[in-house]
């Protein structure tokens, strides 16, 4: 006996919610390359904060656009589910923005200005809501592996000659 489309939709929705809630990072692709973003799940959607000084960048995600979201397992790293989201920017000071920011503030690690963080987010950052649209997509056949994005946090210096000896030195028994 096959399941009805409504039941499939409810099961899809439950899978998307549970997988996304439990994942520490999600991969989001707008018009540019996919990026790993930290998030919170609230009221049936993913909420993100970024695009400001000291926060995660999400270029290619614009208000009213669509995005592809890929969720991986937190413990094994395997692909769990992929889904399409409608992107909407929340307006600072609204009830919806306040609720999202309250959840995001609790998840933000190592904030340099924890006391004034929400004020800074209101002034300088964007808070986005990614709402799942339709059912889940078919899982891709390829690995989705990609070259790392360019960053200023790379080391261009050669490894010091003594480093392997220090790392792999065995302790002498006494």
Average pLDDT, the chain: 85
E strand map for 4-125: 25-29, 35-38, 40-42, 45-50, 66-72, 79-89
Work out whether strand 66-72 and strand 79-89 pair parallel, antiparallel, or are unpaired. antiparallel
Q: Is the pTM of this model over 0.75?
A: yes
State the sign of the Cα–Cα–Cα–Cα dihedral 95, 97, 87, 75: negative
Counts for the chain of helices (H) and strands (E), in that order: 4, 7
Give the CB-side neighbour count of residue 102, counting CA atoms within 13 A. Answer: 8
Q: Can you tell me the distance from the alpha carbon of 95 to that of 136, in angstroms, rounded to the nearest whole number?
A: 29
Structural domains in the chain? 5-142 (2.30.110.10)
Q: Cα angle at 139 between 32 and 66, to 5 degrees?
A: 35
Print pLDDT tens along the chain (174 aa): 445 555 568 888 899 999 999 998 999 999 888 899 999 999 999 999 998 888 999 888 999 999 999 998 888 878 889 999 999 999 999 999 999 999 999 988 888 788 899 999 999 999 999 999 977 877 777 777 778 777 777 667 777 788 777 787 766 665
Q: Which residue shows structure tokens 């994942």?
A: 23
Q: Can you tell me the distance from the alpha carbon of 120 to that of 124, in angstroms, rounded to the nearest whole number?
A: 6
Residue 1 is predicted with a pLDDT of: 42
**Termini Cα distance of the chain:** 71
């Amino acid at each position: 006996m096959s399941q009805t489309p409504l039941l499939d939709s409810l099961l899809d929705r439950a899978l998307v919610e549970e997988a996304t809630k439990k994942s520490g990072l999600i991969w989001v692709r707008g018009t540019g390359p996919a990026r790993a973003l930290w998030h919170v799940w609230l009221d049936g959607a993913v909420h993100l904060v970024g695009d400001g000084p000291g926060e995660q960048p999400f270029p290619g995600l614009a208000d009213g656009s669509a995005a592809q979201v890929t969720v991986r397992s937190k413990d094994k790293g395997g692909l769990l589910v992929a889904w399409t989201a409608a992107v909407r920017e929340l307006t600072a000071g609204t009830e919806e923005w306040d609720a999202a920011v309250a959840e995001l503030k609790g998840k933000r690690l190592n904030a340099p200005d924890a006391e004034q963080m929400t004020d800074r987010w209101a002034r300088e950052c964007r808070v986005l809501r990614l709402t799942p649209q339709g059912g889940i997509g078919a899982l891709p056949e390829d690995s989705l592996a990609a070259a790392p994005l360019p960053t200023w946090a790379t080391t261009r210096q050669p490894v010091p000659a003594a480093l392997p000896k220090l790392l792999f030195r065995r302790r002498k028994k006494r």
